[in-house]
């Protein structure tokens, strides 16, 4: 999606440790009018998929999930990150590794908010190795709900998470796919 690619080229900053900083518009500052515009594309892609609920994970997925939900006119459920010890029995859970922070957390959703007749669209801001989406898929599977697919704003395609999920048969749509990035050569899209 050219609109997002252009914005990433303009405002994204490649940092050490393979980090793309887009904090000025996607996290932690949220350019809401812009994000609402790009979320329209998730609706265009999934409008015929029978989505009745959007599932995301706190914190940076919440804004784009909520803005996307407006087009679908459906609720959002967000998974909370919990220390394993705190996880109660009345939740569905999935394991999420954060490569940025080097920690493993349990993502949890109360059982009352996911049902086996739900048709879920997974939404997140970033897809790198795919761990957050894998955690959400684990939660969805435990609930018996159907996952119609995933929508992410930025996919770091060279990290392989997106293709791994596609190989498992999951539909994954990314608004901007990064083929490579470095401080020296900048950001190259697929």
| Rounded Cα–Cα distance for residues 76 and 66 (Å) | 6
CB 178 within 8 A of CB 156: yes
Confirm or reject binding of residue 24 to its own copies (CB under 8 A): yes
Q: Which parts of 113-142 interact with its own copies (CB under 8 A)?
A: 113
Residue 119: CA count within 13 A, CB half-sphere: 10
Report in angstroms how near the CB of residue 186 gets to its own copies at its nearest: 21
Residues within window 79-108 making contact with its own copies, judged by CB under 8 A: 79-80
CB of 190 to its own copies, least distance (A): 28
Q: Does 11 bind its own copies (CB under 8 A)?
A: no
**52-71: which residues touch its own copies (CB under 8 A)?**
58-59, 62-63, 65-67, 69-70
- Is 110 a binding residue for its own copies by CB under 8 A? The answer is yes
Chain centroid to CA 58: 10
**Does 17 help bind its own copies (rule: CB under 8 A)?**
no
CB of 148 to its own copies, least distance (A): 18
Rounded to 5 degrees, what angle do the CA atoms 148, 42, 80 make? 70
Q: Which is nearer to its own copies, 57 or 175 (CB)?
A: 57
Size of the site for its own copies (CB under 8 A): 32
Radius of gyration of the chain (CA): 16
Residues contacting residue 75 through CB under 8 Å, at least 6 positions apart = 53, 54, 69
Provide CB contacts within 8 A for 144, sequence distance 6+.
Answer: 115, 116
Summarize as ranges the residues that interact with its own copies (CB under 8 A): 23-25, 28-33, 35-36, 58-59, 62-63, 65-67, 69-70, 73-80, 109-110, 112-113
């Amino acid at each position: 999606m050219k609109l997002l690619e252009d914005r990433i080229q303009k405002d994204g900053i490649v940092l050490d440790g393979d980090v793309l900083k887009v904090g000025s518009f996607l996290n932690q500052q949220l350019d809401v009018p812009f994000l609402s515009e790009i979320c329209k594309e998730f609706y265009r892609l999934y409008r015929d998929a029978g989505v009745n609920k959007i599932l995301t994970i706190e914190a940076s997925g919440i804004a784009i999930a909520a803005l996307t939900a407006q087009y679908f006119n459906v609720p959002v459920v967000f998974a909370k990150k919990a220390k394993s010890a705190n996880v109660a029995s009345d939740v569905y859970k999935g394991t999420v590794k954060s490569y940025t922070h080097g920690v493993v957390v349990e993502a949890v959703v109360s059982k009352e908010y996911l049902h086996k007749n739900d048709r879920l669209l997974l939404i997140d801001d970033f897809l790198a190795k795919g761990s957050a989406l894998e955690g959400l898929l684990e939660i969805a599977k435990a609930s018996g709900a159907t996952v119609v697919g995933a929508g992410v704003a930025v996919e770091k395609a060279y990290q392989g998470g997106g293709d791994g999920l596609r190989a498992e048969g999951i539909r994954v749509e990314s608004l901007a796919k990064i083929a490579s990035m470095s401080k020296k050569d900048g950001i190259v899209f697929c």
